Amino acid sequence: MTSVTRVLREGPNRGRPPSEETTRVEHSVGAICEACCKSLVVGQLNYCHMNTVPDYLTIDVQKQNLAAIRRSSETVEASHLLVKHRGSRRPASWKNDNITISREEALAILKGFEKQIREGKVDFGELASHESDCSSAKNRGSLGRFGRGEMQKAFEDVAFGLKVGEMSGPVDTDSGVHLILRTG
């Protein structure tokens, strides 16, 4: 029994069999509350509850649900420069149909790019535009905004750990090796 169902049946309807109207209300309020909880950031949940849910309707939001809501609302914006190698899950790119370099060679290339960027010799986006093996090269390496669970875990962990404007060192994923720049 959902919290909404329990409260509807224990509130003004205590002891009565559920009416068709109660069942409709249970489903619509439950759906509204669920949609509301999924789309709001955690700080807004109390406001939503206090201002849109009648006193006799309550929602049990457990700590793990709040954590899931918090995680789902957390996003970052990032760009990356990818160098693929023959062990990449798709060893081909927009600029090379058959990538044959080893992981070690890809890593050496990426470290060279990292050095150029850190020394200020080249702009991250400009270099990504010409050298990245990802199709995001056409957007200066921009991947846009993404949340947890949308990228490979190693990539995501690093991206979420960076401060805005900070660039990672080499990050190894199934796609290849990356430099990640957090942009938002």
**Is 175 one of the annotated active-site residues of the chain?**
yes
**Is 73 one of the annotated active-site residues of the chain?**
no
CA distance 64 to 75: 19
Catalytic residue among 3, 73, 116, 152: 152
Q: How many CB atoms are closer than 10 A to CB 82? A: 26
- Tokens 């090379």 appear where? 96
Q: How many CB atoms are closer than 10 A to CB 113? A: 19
Alpha helix stretches (DSSP H) within 88-182:
103-118, 124-131, 153-161
Catalytic residue among 132, 142, 168, 175: 175
Catalytic residue among 134, 136, 142, 168: 134
Catalytic residue among 37, 132, 136, 178: 178
**Is 134 one of the annotated active-site residues of the chain?**
yes
User: What's the N-to-C CA distance of the chain in angstroms?
Assistant: 42
**Is 48 one of the annotated active-site residues of the chain?**
no
Catalytic residue among 33, 37, 80, 136: 80
Q: How many CB atoms are closer than 10 A to CB 43? A: 9
Strand (E) or helix (H) holding 78 = strand 75-83
Q: If DSSP codes are grouped into helix, strand and coil, which group holds residue 52?
A: helix
Which positions are annotated as active-site residues? 80, 134, 152, 175, 178
